[in-house]
Chain A
Amino acid sequence: METLHYLSIGFGVALQPENLLFALMGCFIGTLIGALPGLGPANGVAILIPLAFTLGLKPETALIMLTAVYAGAMYGGRISSILLNIPGDEPAMMTCLDGYPMARQGKAAEALAISAIASCMGSLIATIGLILLAPILARFALTFGPAEYFALFVLAFATLGGITGKNPMKTLMAAALGLIIATMGIDLSTGTQRYTFGILELYEGVDFIIAIVGLFAVSELLFFIEDKAGIGRAMIKVNPLKLNWREIRSILPTTVRGGVLGFIAGVLPGAGASLGSFISYTLEKKILGKKGNFGEGDPRGVAAPEAGNNGASSGALVPMLTLGVPGSGTTAVLLAMLVSLNITPGPMMFTQHADLVWGVIAALLVGNIMLLLLNIPMVGVFVKILSVPPMFLLPIVTMVAFVGIYSISHSVFDLSFMIGFGVAGYVLRKLEVPLVPVILGLLLGPEMEKNLRHSMQISDGDWSILWSSNLSIGLWLIAIIGLLLPVVVGPILRRRMQAAQSRTDG
């Protein structure tokens, strides 16, 4: 009942006209960002953070807008999967399998509508899961001491590469790099200058917003130039929509299964939205077996992965909101927003900032209804914008990133720093060193060091306190498994995903 009470407070926040307006804006921009190939959700949210910041929005409004962008990007990803056969973001990969064939059979509008409904259902189911699970997890997390937190951070890094990640050592290296950058600046508890090289701008450390925007947005531009993808690709025309109630009903069981599976994949460390959509697609194929014609444009093959990835994206908010430890790139960027608004993420948020947390959760419910309404009648608008070739869109997006960073500090130094991070991001991506752990390291570095300090002060310098409680031992074990599992299971899973993908390409 307590949950219902909080939820009603949340709706009170989410339904304020200002917040509704920004949620709508976020939904629209998010869908757009998701639809553009190459502009993933993490990227899009990153570009918008400085803008939300300089606009001086209230924390809840800013977070509601960015969460709406995040949810919207998950919807948008499907548009380019279905019409172009290029996933707008990674989790939308599985939607290509049946979405593109459907579109080629002249049923593009139906595929878009079905996937919108599935996205909405998946997300709503997972949001309900979030409402039920998050308070319990938050209460549990209150029992964590500094040693447990330190182990939890290690766990977050160890599982961040995901089960499908290629080389766990590179994930670890990326995390170490991020943490190293985070130590630059004046040490908060002793006042010692660390790695500032006497440069005044470095005294306060490296602003992670600059790093995030550079790593994502600028490196993306460079990749587009290298791939010579400026012209864009031929797109399938959208036919007038003919969808009856019976067809919608036939996909409902699929979306429920997809949403639940997606939610679980989202909550678990190291799984994420890509795996969520993959699992729900393969499971659906197994359950329906020969009754479906998967791979040739089965509506349920569109519904399953969409419900799965939207479910996972809401599920991924659970560890971010309750533990302050994000499990994916986009939730890491959302966390960056919280930190820069001076809100300490973690279990205390549920008591100290109840209106903010529950406002965001309620906004997620409202936002999904908005997204459904936006995405069925207005899909034509998004299709129009998608047909603008990337050679015009990407430079403009880069310019918006510049404006965002510039308007925070009016500093040319920051802009050049951002470009530097962009080039570094390009090199790291070429070497297949993942970028998300770098960002997470930057974000969590100070907290992690603080928790290490506190536990050492408690134990008077005895390192064994880090693995002295059952809980922390459990966390360390999961972390180790998280590092080892990709080496064992990763190649098998990746091969299957690729096999499924190449069947439609060929």
Chain B
Amino acid sequence: MDLLLMTLTTGIMVGGIYALVALGWVLIYKCSGVLNLAMGEMTLIGAYVSLSFYSMGVPFLLSLLFSLIIGFILGILTERIFLDRLIGEPVLTVIMVTVGLSFFFKGTVEFIWGTDTRVFAPPVFSIEPVRLGPLIIGEVYLWSFVAAIILLVVFVCFFKYTRWGLAMQATADDEMAALSVGVSARFVYAAAWAIAFMAAGVGGTLLGNINGLNISVGYLGLLVLPVVVLGGLNSVPGAILGGLIIGVLQNFCGAYLDRYFPGGVKEVAPFAFMAVFLLFKPYGIWGWERIERV
């Protein structure tokens, strides 16, 4: 019973981070229709930038802020240089450009920061676990979850109540209509990439605090794909729910199935689950079903 409860909470906490990164992904897809496979490398860049600032002695929150700023700039640059020219191109072209970007980012990150695991030193969060009633949670997990939730709320409020957010919603809903009432689509695309880059950076920083930072944190970017498929590609609540589900699923597989299938069940389970899930519900929980005509 204890194990069950522990696994569940850890799963939800990690799932919060997944949800945050998935939100960035869904945002790009909703606004510009780009299926982004470079998300993992975007998390890496954000994480390494904040780690670099932190090891230079900048306070953690400030270095996180710097990584947000750099993520913002990089996001706009990426959109302007590569993706802007590809509006209206076939899906495969756009996907492969993001794959190309992911290699470019990854190669650059490895070239600059190397492949050894780095840790945030001194540790940002204490290793003493926190007790919440019967639950024992690592402080890192708790804070990561809290941070992820705060950011999720901030982003959702941004979409609901600010002018820019409303413009983005309008473009996602119907690009033509949005253009006709004077929303700048180019601005919206750039904003979507900038926000996605920032969300990814925060997610990467939080994950880097849990297990140390190396290139495998970029694996998170692939994990985003089962999350968004589960929730439906163009649904923000779906991304959040999917993140939590995948987080829980992953931890349950790690806790219970690892005995029977030793090794990497935890890494493979989301993908296997996704492949099966697609067979039954290809549009996810809250995704829009596309009706095709000849």
Asked if A and B bind, the verdict is: no
